[in-house]
Amino acid sequence: MPETVTGAQKGTKKGTPGEHPMADTLTIIDNRTEKDFEYPIMYGTYPEYGAAIPAKDIRAIKATETDFGMLCYDPGFTNTASCKSAITFIDGEKGILRYRGYPIEQLAEKSNYLEVAYLTLFGELPTKDELDRWTYDVTHHTYLHENMKELMAAFRYDAHPMGMFVSAIAALSTFYPEARTIDDPEIRIKQIQRLVAKVGTVAAFAYRHSRGLPYVYPDNELSFAGNFLAMMYRTSEAKYEPNPILEKVLDVLFILHVDHEQNCSANAMRAVGSSHADPYCSLSAAAAALYGPLHGGANEMVLRMLREIGKVENIPGYIQRVKAGDFRLMGFGHRVYKNYDPRARILRELAPEVFKVTGTNPMLDIAIELERIALEDDYFVSRNLYPNVDFYSGIIYQALGFPVAMFPVLFAIPRTAGWLAQWLEMLQDSDQRIARPRQVYIGYDERKYEPIGKRD
């Protein structure tokens, strides 16, 4: 009979933070020692998601009294819950995305970006007064210090806007040294207002720089999305009037990109923030994570693919090559969604609205036909490959006049609210400590240093 070790906490009736009716525990038997270990199972809001055992207690599993203890090997954290979170819920099998419990479809239809940012950051939909105050505060923090203009102007004429964005956000920390006092709630909120407000200005300045155009200052009379369009595109007109349909579509695009729980960039925000770096430097690190093509760059690949296909008649041949394994269908498939990405569905409906204003684009016809054929094809159906958000976002961004290099920057603007929500939640969670994973060391045992003349 194995000996039972309960040092690894005996199971309890209730896991934290949610309650679960069963007296659930997990028992692990160590065949090396024949001891078994019992762990309480912790649940989130839904028992079928997020059941976890405390990884630190696994350390009690030891082959000998003196060994370090058992670790979990999990490259890329694909099966590690790094936190408890109440911000975003995703059910990839069913194609569900909710911020603070509200379905993304309802938010996209009824809300606006600044309200969704408020909801994501502070947990509840604002009252009218709260929303007015928040909108006022964000609107009145969109200006950048004039020195920031000089800093942006110092980049090479062909600097990638995302490189400029990442650097400029980090540079902002030097203007607000009080931001380092991360345990003061008022100071934290001030930095949140500044960051949500200023990312749009930084992004637009990066674009104007790459075009050799003068920077356009924010217009406080416009909406968040309208002001961004003005800072991007205003030329000699005294007052830039954004097209209301395009302004609305951009606002919806912002809503769809606010948060997506513990992805690579949210994890970077939390990891850097866990060292108590100020929010500007932490957010710059998160934006750097987003810059990578495996995270924020797939919509560019979709555009290239649609251009390569060229016309609707070429689609069946292209699909054959995908099925033969020559390449993947860009904008299809997702690590989490094994159903239609709900964000893609919203964008698919919005795309024709955009093209009514901007003029038709043959790429939309190719995309819709490609989707239709793929969704009827057993290769894609059997693998649960559905369009993801990037399938339509690139086509819409392009119709709105954004160059491809701006796509990750456009992603970073609204994701700033999500990153800051993750940061705030991390700072307020007493379970959180500095991010410091372990490793399984596979290098040499101790070796003797040889002088250079004695080495082979």
Point out which residues bind ligand ACO (CB under 6 A). Answer: 298, 322, 328-335, 383, 385, 388-390
Catalytic (active site) residue 276: no
For 4, 28, 396, 401, 437, the CA distances from 70, given in Å and listed in that order, are 17, 11, 49, 54, 13
Of the candidates 20, 145, 160, 295, the residue annotated as catalytic is 295
Nearer to ligand ACO (CB atom), residue 53 or residue 266: 266
| Residue 431 CA to its chain's centroid (Å) | 22
Catalytic (active site) residue 20: no
Rounded CA gap, 429 and 23, in Å? 26
Determine if residue 387 is left, alpha or beta; phi over 0 gives left, psi from -120 to 50 gives alpha, anything else beta. Answer: beta
User: Which of these, 296, 277, 309, 268, lies nearest to 393 by C-alpha position?
Assistant: 296
E-strand stretches of 50-170:
88-91, 96-99, 102-103
Nearer to ligand ACO (CB atom), residue 40 or residue 333: 333
Three-class secondary structure of residue 98 per DSSP: strand
Tokens of 48: 């079928």
Contacts of 408 (CB under 8 A, 6+ apart): 162, 290, 291, 296, 297
Nearer to ligand ACO (CB atom), residue 335 or residue 448: 335
What is the closest distance, in whole angstroms, from the C-beta atom of residue 294 to ligand ACO in the complex? Answer: 7
Nearer to ligand ACO (CB atom), residue 136 or residue 327: 327
What is the closest distance, in whole angstroms, from the C-beta atom of residue 191 to ligand ACO in the complex? Answer: 27
Strands 35-40 and 3-5, sheet pairing:
parallel
Rounded CA gap, 200 and 413, in Å? 6
Nearer to ligand ACO (CB atom), residue 227 or residue 299: 299
What is the closest distance, in whole angstroms, from the C-beta atom of residue 297 to ligand ACO in the complex? Answer: 8
What is the closest distance, in whole angstroms, from the C-beta atom of residue 67 to ligand ACO in the complex? Answer: 35
Q: Which residue is nearest to ligand ACO (CB)?
A: 333
Rounded CA gap, 429 and 28, in Å? 28
Nearer to ligand ACO (CB atom), residue 191 or residue 388: 388
Of the candidates 24, 251, 259, 390, the residue annotated as catalytic is 390
What is the closest distance, in whole angstroms, from the C-beta atom of residue 374 to ligand ACO in the complex? Answer: 9
What is the closest distance, in whole angstroms, from the C-beta atom of residue 344 to ligand ACO in the complex? Answer: 9
Nearer to ligand ACO (CB atom), residue 239 or residue 335: 335
Rounded CA gap, 418 and 107, in Å? 15
Torsion from C-alpha of 104, 108, 109, 115, nearest 10 degrees: 110
What is the closest distance, in whole angstroms, from the C-beta atom of residue 412 to ligand ACO in the complex? Answer: 13
Rounded CA gap, 110 and 104, in Å? 10
Of the candidates 259, 260, 334, 341, the residue annotated as catalytic is 334
E-strand stretches of 20-87:
25-30, 35-40
Catalytic (active site) residue 390: yes
Q: Active-site residues: which are they?
A: 295, 334, 390
